[in-house]
Structure 1
Amino acid sequence: MGIIYLVIIGAAAGFLATRLMKIEANIITTVVIGMAGALIGGLVLRTLATVMGFMAGFVGAVLGALVLIWVWQQWGNRR
């Protein structure tokens, strides 16, 4: 159940993050960005998730995905 939950939250967070950052990405990239963002956001915002529950985890996932997209744009353009 945890993997399915991670894919669903990752897809939602990746979709929202790609739209906020105004980038075009395919479905797989969007889900991977969201999942990686969920992991990053979950680690950084663990305390907030404890206090506020599910919504804090989702906010952390979106913020993590935004940071990952920003890093990707910064380092990806150098090739």
Structure 2
Amino acid sequence: MLRLIDRISLQTAVIAALFLGLAPFTPEPHIWEKLKMLMAGTLVRPIDWFDLVLHGAPWLLVAVKLARRKVAAPEDGAR
């Protein structure tokens, strides 16, 4: 699974997060609406949970890619 994540470029993941993660853009991004519903305790219908997962997955991919990049990068004073 991590090899599949590594094969996706960071640029592709960011573009997916911006377009798929925020769509539809009006009246507000879908992920934002679902996160507000989650915090308010009104995220109860299965379609709402599906939307949260669907629109949140690209953002999670970006976070995992950045975390793996940070772990793989050598530290400055590690000589």
Quick check: TM above 0.5? no
Structure ID, larger Rg: 2
Higher relative contact order (CA 8 A, sep 6+): 2
TM-score by length of 2: 0.35
TM-score by length of 1: 0.35
Kindly indicate which of the two structures has a greater share of residues assigned to helix.
Answer: 1
